Amino acid sequence: MLLRLIKRELRRLTSRKIYIFMMLIVPLGCSFFLLNLMNEGLPLKVPVGMVDLDHSSLSRKVGRSLSASELIDISSDLEDFHSAMEKVRSGEIYGFFLIPRDFQKKAIGGSTPTLSFYSNMAIFVPGSLSYKGFKTIAVTTSGGIVKTTLVGAGADETTAGSLIQPMVIRTHPLNNPWTNYAIYLCQSFIPCLLALIVLLVTVFSICQEHKIGSSVEWLREAGGNMAMALLGKLLPQTLIFTAVGVALQSVMFGYLHFPLNNHPLHMILAMFLLVAACQGFAVFITEMLPNLRIALSVMSLTGILCFSIAGFSFPVEKMYGGVAIFSYLVPIRYYFLIYIDQALNGIPIYYSRFYYIALLIFMLLPALGLRRLKKQCINPVYVP
């Protein structure tokens, strides 16, 4: 009986272009897009400007160090502050470095001139990168002058070094020493996109039965057993989505060498559970809201909100309490936490046990409304 149901479902899946489009082309195509777009890892070479009001040998030296930095790219030498601001406003540059008049004279004369730099934080990543690049140059310039003065005054190189930097804090970014930005975005957005598609397709494929009135026949095939009918319907989809998900994982972990510091099976299991959990979540919503459009709308709204509420960029524990709890109501949050523990940090699976269990619970959610769903299947109503 299960085999017959699976065959029926496979026939349905292959008979409409939208399924093939949604289940294969969209996840694979979008992932290719994201991975290809960000294959640099970090958007280095931020276009910035430089305003040199001093035109001295020292200011030119600063300019040379600026152009040597890999973080920024001096795309324009600007006349004055106003023309620089104009370029920032028009979006041509993301920041600029300003060397004041009489910079060299003051620096050597000991009257502390100020190097100022401007970063446009309205676009976060290039803004931050340009800030980092500018700051490094400003600090090294300052250090270089001190060192020259000290050595000139008779101190030896090491003494001079320890005088300039008597203490250093070495920051060790664990498991992502390159501070690769693409790893963040791809490892969170690609699974979340897949989760969104699973939610939509699951709801669509079930409610479609109501819409065209084939649900009675579907239930009959399963001998009136709703759980069996659902299993037969969703199992082929689970397999396809898991295969797509694992393929994407293998591209990221295997081909692109994103950090995977534990056994790959931990992540494959997580992917399977994510797909199944999303299906469970979607079926549950369908049971509660048996209307194709409303259920789909709810799934789209949640699926899209997942990208923000799951805390991929802003930490959940710092969100407002009333908002943060919603984070734990979506399956993708647990997959993301498993990813951090198992793939990125590679800690023992013991610490992620609750996340796996949470995904299992999502999987079992549909059991709560089976009777409701059966009633709807016997009397399919389509409300536009």
Partner 1 sequence: MNWLKNLFRVWRRETHLVFTDIGVLLFFFALPLAYPIVYTLIYNPEIVKKIDTVVVDNSRSAESRELVRELGATQGVNIVGYAADMGEARRAMMEKKCYGVLEIPSDYGRRIGRGEQAVTSFYCDMSLLLRFRQYLFAMTDVQMNEVTRITSQRLADGGLLTSSIGGLPVDSQPNFLGDVTQGFASFVMPGIVVLILQQSMLLGITMISGTSRDRRRRNGGTDPLDYDAGPTATVLGKSLCYLMIYLPLSYYILEIVPYMFSLPHVGRFMDFMPMIFVMLLATSFLGQTLQIFVRERESSLLVIVFTSVVFLFLSGLTWPRYAFNKFWLMVSDLIPATFGMEGLIRINSNGASLADVSQYYWGLWALTGLYFVTALLLRYFVSRKPKSQTAEGTITV
Pairing status of strand 72-78 against strand 46-52: parallel
Interacting residue with partner 1 among 300, 328, 370, 372 (CB under 8 A): 300
- Residue 151 binding partner 1, by CB under 8 A: no
Closest approach of partner 1 to the CB of residue 350, in Å = 9
3-state secondary structure of 384: coil
Q: Tokens 């093939």, residue?
A: 20
Closest approach of partner 1 to the CB of residue 364, in Å = 26
User: Going residue by residue from 244 to 283, which x/- string records binding to partner 1, judged by CB under 8 A?
Assistant: ----------------------------------------
Q: Which is nearer to partner 1, 2 or 18 (CB)?
A: 18
Name the strand (E) or helix (H) holding 48: strand 46-52
Interacting residue with partner 1 among 50, 66, 201, 222 (CB under 8 A): 201
**Region near partner 1 per CB under 8 A, out of 242-250, 277-285, 299-307, 372-380:** 299-307
Touching partner 1, residues 350-369 (CB under 8 A) = 351
- Residue 211 binding partner 1, by CB under 8 A: yes
Q: Tokens 């610490």, residue?
A: 351
| Per-residue tokens: 221 | 């095939």
Closest approach of partner 1 to the CB of residue 63, in Å = 15
Q: Which is nearer to partner 1, 73 or 367 (CB)?
A: 73
User: Going residue by residue from 36 to 75, which x/- string records binding to partner 1, judged by CB under 8 A?
Assistant: xxx-x--xxxxx----------------------------
Interacting residue with partner 1 among 1, 2, 68, 125 (CB under 8 A): 125
Q: Which is nearer to partner 1, 196 or 234 (CB)?
A: 196
Q: Which is nearer to partner 1, 264 or 346 (CB)?
A: 346
Smallest CA-to-CA distance from 283 within 331, 338, 217 is with 331
3-state secondary structure of 259: coil
Neighbours of 381 (CB within 10 A): 10
Q: Residue 146 and residue 104: Cα distance in Å, rounded?
A: 13
Beta carbons of 243 and 327 less than 8 angstroms apart: no
Closest approach of partner 1 to the CB of residue 363, in Å = 23
- Residue 156 binding partner 1, by CB under 8 A: no
Neighbours of 75 (CB within 10 A): 15
Q: Residue 31 and residue 4: Cα distance in Å, rounded?
A: 33
98 strand-pairing partners: 51, 116
Q: Residue 275 and residue 216: Cα distance in Å, rounded?
A: 27
3-state secondary structure of 77: strand
**Region near partner 1 per CB under 8 A, out of 136-144, 232-240, 267-275, 361-369:** 136-144
Closest approach of partner 1 to the CB of residue 32, in Å = 11
| Per-residue tokens: 2 | 């299960």
Q: Is 33 exposed, middle or buried (0-12, 13-18, 19+ CB in 10 A)?
A: exposed
Touching partner 1, residues 172-191 (CB under 8 A) = 172-176, 179, 181, 184-185, 189
Interacting residue with partner 1 among 7, 114, 361, 375 (CB under 8 A): 114
DSSP state of 256: S
Closest approach of partner 1 to the CB of residue 7, in Å = 14
Q: Tokens 């198992």, residue?
A: 342
**Region near partner 1 per CB under 8 A, out of 143-151, 220-228, 234-242, 360-368:** 143-151
Closest approach of partner 1 to the CB of residue 371, in Å = 25
Touching partner 1, residues 23-42 (CB under 8 A) = 26, 30, 33-34, 36-38, 40
Beta carbons of 257 and 185 less than 8 angstroms apart: no
- Residue 325 makes CB contacts below 8 A (sequence gap 6+) with none
Touching partner 1, residues 7-26 (CB under 8 A) = 12, 15-16, 18, 22, 26
Interacting residue with partner 1 among 56, 142, 225, 250 (CB under 8 A): 142
Interacting residue with partner 1 among 2, 68, 122, 325 (CB under 8 A): 122
Beta carbons of 384 and 210 less than 8 angstroms apart: no
50 strand-pairing partners: 77, 97
Touching partner 1, residues 310-349 (CB under 8 A) = 311-315, 318-320, 323, 340-341, 344-345, 347-348
52 strand-pairing partners: 99
